[in-house]
Structure 1
């Protein structure tokens, strides 16, 4: 269930051109014209496990409009393959695209502007989710699944130690100190320096907006007050030894999540599935709560992961492709299938459907798991835009943050270095950068 963070490889980066000067598609901003009910044979590149079930349902209901699914790798491989196909004129009609990938695909003119043909489903999605696919007033994809962030904690150990679930990050920091003072063998959590997608979710919650496109120029704001606040917070806890500074998803982390060394994990809605895999013996011992807030009384969270459905700019069946994309991400029967295959739908109806009524088996001790998750999802906000060189930004964080942890340095200083690298790369690639 883990929605992997997009890290574009150098192969994919080769296709990133200055604001789409080297066209990969055609007429991306032209209105979609034609009969969406006309016969069609569509191709769909996607990587979500078992999404063939949704395609089969569509094909059963639409014998004159058939969709052929091609399973593809996610992240960098998918972006590189799609852009190669687009430049060669043989891209699929539809693509499952992670939100971080959209600016790269858009600036290469590889995606079709869907504005005007998807208005009928706009109200099916929260504003914070819809904004993930909209840029400069245009919408290029329909949200499919999201990863609103929340806090998982060991309910049994919290009760044993007399701990109260924190509602603010200040309380979280104080609680981390309490845990260490009561039991030197336990830590409240770890700060994973090699997961920039995780960090970006905290920054989103704090109000950061790392990229913005202003009349064709990219403004980069990674070294902003909100991100500095986030990094200062975690820096203080790690450098004082109050929490760990070790990466997630390692054998050591798996063991610590299972044996009670780590007793809380800021994660996303799909975290229950991860816990079931890495710490199966703790089933029924974890509970989920809203992410702590940066200011008391707020109700906000960020996103960690998620994907959308986009239409290729080169498709010759755009009306029919847009019709399928709408159906896949808003139709009640389609949403039911998405839930059943392990995706957390972006559409509000999918987050409150009967299929989400029962908690995951791992969280059976929290019967209202999905009801609580739906409420949290409504408070999620993301960046107004992802940048066209997200890969460079993420790679810089992946290199510099672990070094800062090892050296006991100030994490906030890393943001300035990442900002500089991101701006230099945009300029090198030929993008216009605001303020430069």
Structure 2
């Protein structure tokens, strides 16, 4: 049946941006074929998704999922989804990153599936569940997460008699020793947007919150200034490489030992292995250094959901597939192999694909480190409603700060001011 969508509780309500509920649905929404089988459409781009959908269709004869590959979100996929919602012909389901979900909600582009989803809440890690829950409503199913750890060059550390640092104070001390051993060596490299967000996330330095029907913005809070000041200190002492992450110079530094660590999410393992082949056998993974000795807090960088879009005629069927995609052992095992996704579902952390040793990391079972970290990802984190703009504004300031033309704290302050200005311009309600 056709279903009008309520305004997004607490988010679109605050924004005043929810699309009008028309009660109409387009050709991309759920439908019923002449044979009586329900059919829903799913847009995504992750490698392995098409195989997972085929497996679902084979094992669920009463529900057919039509998978259609689109460009990755930031490369046009998200805009295509929003355009389809506005045109009334959106698919039932779409791959949407956690950081982007609030902006979809603010534009009234999501469907509330709380009544179908609530019973499955316990299947997911708390931080992942919170990432699909806004204003008390659930808008999709978690798929993967990005728990963070410390990738470190054990050859460099070993040559200097260093062990993986357990605190950020130790990390700073190691940074000085590493650079003193060779002026071309650095502890780390600059972090931008969501990689930097993970550093704040671990420290409990949130950027956004929701109070009642309004947004809170806290990018330049005392907690954030503490994190910013720490990394600013490393940069001011010349301990941070100038090579931008994912640049060829960065990969070269990882391969030859000039960049000794990467503070990154689980998916960085594939990035490092693919781009710094010369470093094979030299790298290892350890838990993140802590702000307080003995603590176990972890940050997160990345992860996505299977979101239910406005106009879906079969939200129950949409949730059935979305939940299955993120919790089926066989299907997700394939996603680990094909897309290096790390599960948001608690029951999948022992998948065989996550238990083997990795030759690049000297045979270490690196996923054991991330499994331990995933249980301690700070669940008290909320993404903002305009993250594309927020991230772009922040990157502009961070890029200058790492280059010595500003400060990280200043970049956060400016990004907050610009974000708040745009939020007000778009009619979002903001509170202190």
Q: What's the TM-score, normalizing by structure 1?
A: 0.89
Aligned residue among 404, 429, 432 for 1:432: 429
Alignment correspondent of 2:146: 147
Aligned residue among 270, 287, 309 for 2:284: 287
| Bigger mean CA deviation after superposition, 219-228 or 375-384 | 375-384
Aligned residue among 407, 415, 420 for 2:404: 407
Alignment correspondent of 1:130: 129
Q: 1:26 to 1:176 in 2, by over 3 A?
A: farther
Deviations 1:272-304 (A, max 9, x none): 111111111222221001111111111011111
Q: Which runs of 5+ in 1 are unaligned?
A: 1-14, 29-33
Q: 1:210 to 1:350 in 2, by over 3 A?
A: same
Deviations 1:57-81 (A, max 9, x none): 0011123311111111122322211
Q: 1:352 to 1:101 in 2, by over 3 A?
A: same
Q: 1:89 to 1:380 in 2, by over 3 A?
A: same
Deviation, structure 1 residue 189: 1.3
Q: How many residues align?
A: 411
Q: How does 1:97-112 map to 2 (within 5 A)?
A: 97-112=96-111
Asked whether the equivalents of residues 352 and 370 of structure 1 are also in contact (C-alpha less than 8 Å), the reply is: no
Aligned residue among 44, 59, 62 for 1:61: 59
Alignment correspondent of 1:376: 373
Deviation, structure 1 residue 24: 6.9
Tell me whether 1:269 sits opposite 2:266 in the alignment.
Answer: yes
Deviation, structure 1 residue 356: 1.3
Alignment correspondent of 1:31: none
Q: How does 1:163-202 map to 2 (within 5 A)?
A: 163-192=162-191, 195-202=192-199
Deviation, structure 1 residue 26: 5.4
Question: Residues of 1 paired with 2:42 and 2:421: CA distance?
Answer: 35
Aligned residue among 329, 336, 339 for 1:332: 329
Q: 1:314 to 1:166 in 2, by over 3 A?
A: same
Alignment correspondent of 1:347: 345
Deviation, structure 1 residue 384: 3.3
Question: Residues of 2 paired with 1:277 and 1:306: CA distance?
Answer: 20
Alignment correspondent of 2:306: 309
Deviation, structure 1 residue 396: 1.1
Asked whether the equivalents of residues 204 and 382 of structure 1 are also in contact (C-alpha less than 8 Å), the reply is: no
State the Cα RMSD in Å. 2.3
Asked whether the equivalents of residues 272 and 362 of structure 1 are also in contact (C-alpha less than 8 Å), the reply is: no
Q: Which runs of 5+ in 2 are unaligned?
A: 1-11, 26-30
SS at match of 2:64: strand
